[in-house]
Chains A and B, each alone.
Chain A
Amino acid sequence: MTLTQTPQQRDHARTIYEKSQPGRRAFVAPALDVPHREGLLPDRLRRAEPAKLPEIAEPEIVRHYNRLSKRNFDLDTGFYPLGSCTMKHNPKLHERVAALPGNARLHPLQHPQRAQGALRLMWELQRALGEIAGLPHVSLQPSAGSHGELAGVLLTRAYHERRGERRTKVLTPDTAHGTNPATVTMAGFEVVKVGTNDRGGVDVEDLRAKAGDDVACLMLTNPNTLGLFDPAIEEIAGIVHDAGATLYYDGANLNAVMGRTRPGDMGFDIVHFNLHKTFTQPHGGGGPGAGPIAVSDRIEPFLPRPQVVRREWGNGTGPSFELDHDRPQSIGRLRGFQGNYGVFVRSYAYILSLGSDGLQEASETAVLNANYLMARLAETAGEHLPAAYDRTCMHEFVLTGGPMKKALGIRTLDLAKRLLDFGFHPPTVYFPLLVDEALLIEPTETETRETLDAFADVVGEILDEAAEDPEAARNAPYTTPVRRLDEAGAAKRPVIRQPL
């Protein structure tokens, strides 16, 4: 394999601290326009030595970060079928409207009378999300999906406590996202796992056996992380409700079902949305996101405060939008201020642009694309990478690399790394945990048929190549700014900051 170094590779990953030179600067301070006074801050409260921030001029800051940016693969450049993450197009309009000064420079403690546009936008977004979820009461406050999950489990706790019940367990399927069990522990409950049946759905008998009167909640993703819609959802909801527990919907996979079915209609009590997935807040390299929740009537009294509410005055003036802090049964705040408003602006722009029919079409196209890619991969790679469950999938699907590993001697990790050389972001790998050598593939509605064909063909080529020469995949990638990195070494001797 011949190597060609790109300019980004030749940069040797020098940090901005290593480019620093004494005396260089970008910042010019405003002049001191008030009389100077000594002794405002006693010496013992003062820092002895300045923080060792970089000393660097603006042109070099810009170059440094632009060069770094070129060492990233991104959604605007290519296919990013990262399962469970919904890497759909981020419309450019959204950045423009979020940056309007009336949004970007609005202080979170501005008096509500002087923030009517923002509060109205939040209220309208709450209504839209409530309709999409089929649950009428929405709090926008949580900052991400995991934060929404925490809100949901805390709401469940408050609900049971209000009824004088002390329940200690929360059920999660073994296919659940890792955030579900982590949330349960953080909220002070014990995790009990529910099994998966041979069709990829909840093992209903196992659920029935475990759904006792000590169970507070079942957390479920539907379609689940195998990309499969559980056809027994009505029976599952019945079992959970008969046990007196609540049913929680992890909304990570909501992009599959908008306009087709709603968590509220399936019997869920609490839903979180990932605005950075379904409603296309850019993922930002790992955030920001937002994780609003929608809940049923019986959960509503406990929602976080403050709530955005609409008040009619009935005196000829129009309605006004307020922050309601007076919610005595509320679980309280989960963060500062009103939530990630900038994310709300972007997601509301998306909902306005697509509308009722467009949202439904987005879900339908996402499901169409996933099934098409699954069918194409069955042609190009089916022998070595069969579907984990041979069923119609929803917006994503799981292949198992077990046969590939056995027959060709390459692992799912090797396939993922070789995909990098072909300009594709790999799927989610080794998740869900119950599938051997799993690949979780979510193409989203963004992608064209040609892109899906190209991906399926490349996977086929990589397998053909591996049949000839498995080392090619085992040593991949070759064309990226760096090649395989020593992750074990990084964890063994952690270097997590620049020594200065």
Chain B
Amino acid sequence: MSRYTSATDADRRAMLAAIGAASIDELFADVPEGVRLNRPLDLPAGKPEQEVYGYLRDLAALNVSAEDEISFLGAGMYDHYVPALVEAIITRSEFLTPYTPYQPEISQGGLQVMFEYQTAISELTGLPVSNASVYEGPSALAAAGYLAKLHHPDRTRFLVSRGVHPHSRETLATTSVGWGTRIEEIPLAGGATDAQALADALADDVSAVFLQYPNFLGTVEDLEALVPAAKAAGALVIVQCDPLPLGILRPPGELGVDVAVGEGQSLGNRLDFGGPSFGFFAAQDAYLRRMPGRIAGETTDVDGRRGFVLTLQTREQHIRREKATHNICTAQALNALAGVIYLSWLGREGIVELGELLLQRTAYARDALSAIEGVELLHDQPVVREFAVTLDADVDAVIERCAAQGVNPGYALGRDYPEYPNGLLVAITEQRGKPDIDRLARTLQSAVREVVHA
């Protein structure tokens, strides 16, 4: 079914005549006979818009979303409230439908957004240099690993804390397979990266140390106790951060961290079953010319007016080709725009107020859950909006029982952390108030009791 085109049969005839071709088939004459399809694609015929809408609406209705249950799922993506102005702005055609700003004179809106975004990320991370976004969190960590490989070409070891998101650890391993780098894991002790184990593993062949802040189990890692040893060994310190808690936590840049990366979803982006969101990438000045991806910079035009351009492009694949600092081209500009709008909406005071609220509610939830018989804290480290418990009952069975009551109690840790077979990771957002937390505690209590006695 012809859709989204204007060509009529009369147009086609006139255009073929102008080209000097007898038929559309003639335009495809370069395709050798042996590789022509010569049959229709085996796909259904096209459908009218209302039918496509109906089908996709029916599929969406099969999903149980955060709209349908009281969800405490986190583990890298969070059900924070996305204010209405974000959607109103990012669905404007002028932001939604252009591409990468290769022509700056007609792309000042998008370029200035990148500049404002870079400023916000720089403020949150305490690092002077930010790019304009990468794909998402775990691949951002892998990109930082590539920066470390370029910076320290002769060093052969990566030390990765077991507190780093399992998806990030796996992505780093997948991506770095051809770099000649060996990945070694630094264990956790009491929910935090084991500083002694890190110190023991460090040597002058370590290219980079990878940490997460707060880590996957919710712990606010004591970076002051971890970073200096790594720096002393000459390794880069790369920290995957959760950007919203950075509103109240000491920024990694202040603590000597070289590169901060992370998943930006919680800044004004929807859950979308895992994407699209954006990854952020910030670093100390020394790494400016090794950064991956687009960077917007300020300049002036021939009349002296302020303007913005893509800058330092000699790092990038379209100029430097096989010597580029990364292969990324299309990134996540629209999602980064949502991020900077959200941060402007929260504002200087709001991000602190939100952080404090999460801190208090998370502490309340942690107390309420650990008071339940058969539920214990997995660790007692400081946390901001996520914490881990362990159950005296099969965690999958408990989750099923809670879900049947309309409560999703969190993420089962066992697949990623076999050492915590009945671990449960619980995330609190500002959309989960005291009544929701109380209901979680009641539901979890019943479910644990039922599973134990089943």
Contact = CB atoms under 8 A, between A and B. Distances in A.
Q: Which of B40, B146, B411 has the most CB of A within 10 A?
A: B40
Contact of B136 (A336, A349, A376): A336
Contacts of B322: 181-182, 184-185, 191
B317 A179 contact: yes
26 contacts: A12-B306, A15-B115, A40-B363, A51-B124, A55-B348, A62-B85, A71-B108, A72-B94, A97-B60, A102-B59, A105-B271, A106-B65, A111-B399, A118-B273, A143-B276, A186-B178, A325-B415, A341-B275, A351-B43, A358-B3, A364-B27, A368-B7, A487-B104, A490-B299, A497-B115, A498-B115
A485 B106 contact: no
Contacts of A179: 317-318, 327, 329
Contact of B276 (A44, A77, A99, A288): A288
A107 B79 contact: yes
B355 to A, nearest CB: 9
Interface string A338-373: 111111010011011111111111101101110110
Q: Which 4 A-B pairs have the closest CB atoms?
A: A188-B178, A337-B274, A284-B334, A355-B46
B45 A357 contact: yes
Interface string B310-340: 0111101111111110111111111101001
A416 interface: yes
Interface string B223-262: 0100000000000000000000011111100000000000
Contact of A93 (B5, B49, B330, B341): B49
A46 B120 contact: no
Interface stretch (A25-33, A203-211, A293-301): A25-33
A13 interface: yes
Contact of A486 (B301, B313, B332): B301
Interface residues of B, number: 206
Contact of B98 (A187, A285, A497): A285
Q: Which of B49, B83, B108, B334 has the most CB of A within 10 A?
A: B108
Contact of A95 (B35, B36, B57, B91): B91
Contacts of A356: 40-46
Given A72-B106, A188-B177, A496-B118, A85 B46 contact: no
Interface string A218-239: 0000000000111101100000
Nearest to B349: A25
Contacts of B94: 69-70, 72, 74, 76-77
Contacts of B3: 91, 353-354, 358, 362
A103 B272 contact: yes
Interface string A98-131: 1111111111111100111110110000001001
B222 interface: yes
A446 interface: yes
B270 A105 contact: yes
A96 interface: yes
Chain A interface size, as a band, is 35 or more
B27 A392 contact: yes
A193 B218 CA distance: 48
A144 B384 CA distance: 33
Given A69-B92, A259-B37, A285-B333, A331 B174 contact: yes
A61 B274 contact: no
Interface string B282-296: 000000100000111
B165 interface: yes
Contacts of A79: none
Contacts of A15: 112, 115-116, 119
Interface string A430-462: 010000000000000111110000000000000
A334 B57 contact: no
Given A231-B32, A337-B167, A102 B103 contact: no
Interface stretch (B69-77, B154-162, B371-379): B69-77
Contact of B29 (A24, A341, A392, A448): A392
Contacts of A110: 63-65, 73, 273, 408
A497 B119 CA distance: 5
A51 B123 contact: yes
B190 interface: no
B346 to A, nearest CB: 5
Interface in B401-454: 403, 408, 411, 415, 430, 433-434, 437
B187 interface: no
